Amino acid sequence: MNEAFASLARYFVTTGQSGGWLVFREGKQKAVQSLPQKLLAVETARIMARESAPSQVFVERRDGSFEVKYTFDDGIAPAH
């Protein structure tokens, strides 16, 4: 396995049971943040990912699958 790939911090934005949005960090069972709006959850995940670069943010699609929305290589600017 590529060492750089293995060391990526991965954050997931997903819907919560109460209608809000949750931000998870891979490997953690409990949500890092619970927010009322998807936009806020995505921005929160982006901030966390930027601080943890190299990292990626995955956002839940309507069908329940995830797509990579942001990749931070150096903590400065996202690559799409």
Measured CA to CA, the distance from residue 6 to residue 75 in angstroms comes to 17
pTM of the full structure: 0.81
For residue 1, the model assigns a pLDDT of 42
Kindly state the tokens that stand for 46.
């982006």
For residue 6, the model assigns a pLDDT of 63
Residue spans of the chain under pLDDT 70: 1-6, 74-80
Measured CA to CA, the distance from residue 63 to residue 61 in angstroms comes to 5
Q: Which residue segment(s) compose the domain that 55 sits in? A: 3-62
- What's the structural domain count of the chain? 1
Using CA atoms, how far residue 71 sits from 11, 30, 33, 36, in Å, is 10, 22, 20, 24
Is residue 77 situated within a structural domain? no
Is residue 27 situated within a structural domain? yes
